[in-house]
Chains A and B, each alone.
Chain A
Amino acid sequence: MGALQGTLTYTLFYVKGETEDGFVEKVVDMVEERAFKPLDPEQEDEEHYGWVPVESPLRVEFERHNIVFDNFVNLGLRHDKYAIPGGLLKAHVSQAERQYMVDHNKERVTKFEREDIKVMVRAGLKEKSLPRMKVIDMSWDMTAGRVRFWNQSPKTCELFQELFKDTFGLDLVPANPYTTAIEIELTPDQVEMLVAVEPATFADQAMAIGALKPSET
């Protein structure tokens, strides 16, 4: 979590682009288009992700008062995924293949039959299990043009950036030494130097090289 309580570990993003006029009036519709939709075990989808209200991961209805907090847009990114253990799936597929051969008086199953059996077994196991749910908050400070996303996994951050872009039509650029330097408004000369500077050496060269290649010293 993070926006309302808990540990403050997050990735900072800079928002590129401007929100259109009347954005706040449209925000509920925009979010609803990308709202989280629960997984259906009878469907082939293995994972779903989308928005939920912050602190209410089971709700998929949005109202302005639970999204817009003054100059902040707060949302939860819910990501559900079926995680059927490989060993369990393999054992059930193997059992189903044996049963299929007995039922159809066959000595072996073809590649296509094996694939069909695997799909059916997977669907059966999905019906018996619950998807793994992950909810991560984000707070978009519309005045400062900054988004805080309470997660630092590169894969999850990438998924979040895509969902944000699809929802609001705006790009997010992650903070790092380069983008942060640009954000703090350097002079043109400084920007030129920012691109040109090379890493400095602070240690005595011989000691530093010795530390990296002890066999050569």
Chain B
Amino acid sequence: MDLVDLINTRRFLGNEFLLWLWFKSECFEAQLHTEEHDTLEVWIDDALTLEAYLAETERNTISGGSPAYSPEAKTALRHGKRPTKAKLGVVKEGREWSFNLKAEDLSFSGVKIPALLSREEEEQFYERMFLLEELEQIVGTLYKEFLAIRLDVHAWSTLMLPALKDWVQRDEVCTPEHYPSAPLKERLGLVTHPHLAAGA
């Protein structure tokens, strides 16, 4: 496959990444942990779009309130739709970002960065770029964690995929027990939330 084919045929990983992030955020009530960024809050904010994988014209756009917890979103998942775009919120060390993440190209739009501290125009530019880079690194770290699971046959097919399928069918909100943290830690060394980090 040439690069263009690889780019086009691997776009589904963006959808699966968003789905995994949605599930993980729900399990841990948005409190996530990564080695690089320590404790983070990551959640799906007030907009979520789901589309059928093989019929892109079938689309559900849910906005306002908490779409990630809406029965409509769960029904769309049960009908085979996947998240294609979500408005996400991220908090790190008391600083908050809000942005739209598009699954097919992992692009950022409408990014709101934490309040700038600089006054001078040039300093503000560096601060804006620093804050954007920090957000890209946070999303990159989460994507790396997802890929570590997704690209390990055992971790994906016997641990994460069954957990995701169970979640899709479940009406109740998930808890940390629904996320296969312990076996993932054992297999891949992933420390996925603050409680595990404390006990590590």
Interface residues of A (CB under 8 A from B): 3-5, 7-12, 69-70, 72, 74, 139, 141, 144, 146, 148, 152, 173-181, 183-184, 186, 189-190, 193-195, 197, 199-204, 207-212
Contacts and interface: CB of A to CB of B under 8 A. Distances in A.
A17 to B, nearest CB: 15
26 contacts: A8-B108, A9-B108, A10-B107, A10-B108, A12-B108, A69-B122, A70-B126, A139-B129, A141-B133, A148-B129, A148-B132, A176-B10, A176-B14, A176-B104, A176-B105, A178-B7, A180-B143, A184-B140, A186-B147, A190-B148, A190-B151, A193-B151, A202-B19, A202-B161, A207-B79, A211-B81
Given A178-B7, A195-B6, A202 B109 contact: no
Contacts of A181: 10, 13, 143, 147
Contacts of A210: 79
Contacts of B12: 177, 199
A8 B78 CA distance: 34
A174 B10 contact: no
A7 to B, nearest CB: 7
Nearest to A175: B106
Given A12-B108, A176-B106, A177-B10, A200 B161 contact: yes
Contact of A184 (B78, B109, B147): B147
Give 7 closest A-B pairs by Cβ, nearest first.
A208-B80, A211-B79, A8-B111, A178-B10, A177-B13, A193-B151, A9-B109
B172 interface: no
B55 interface: yes
A47 B168 CA distance: 51
Interface in B96-151: 99, 103-113, 121-122, 124-126, 128-129, 132-133, 136, 140, 143-144, 147-148, 150-151
Contacts of B125: 3-4, 69, 72, 74
B106 A177 contact: yes
Given A176-B105, A177-B14, A181-B13, A8 B110 contact: yes
A200 B54 CA distance: 13
A203 B110 contact: no
A189 to B, nearest CB: 8
A208 B10 CA distance: 21
B107 A203 contact: no
B58 interface: yes
Contacts of B81: 211
A201 B129 contact: no
Nearest to A191: B151
Interface in B1-60: 1, 3, 6-7, 10-14, 16-17, 19, 52-55, 58
B107 A175 contact: yes
A4 B13 CA distance: 33
A11 B109 CA distance: 9
Nearest to B113: A8
A194 B126 contact: no
A193 B146 CA distance: 13
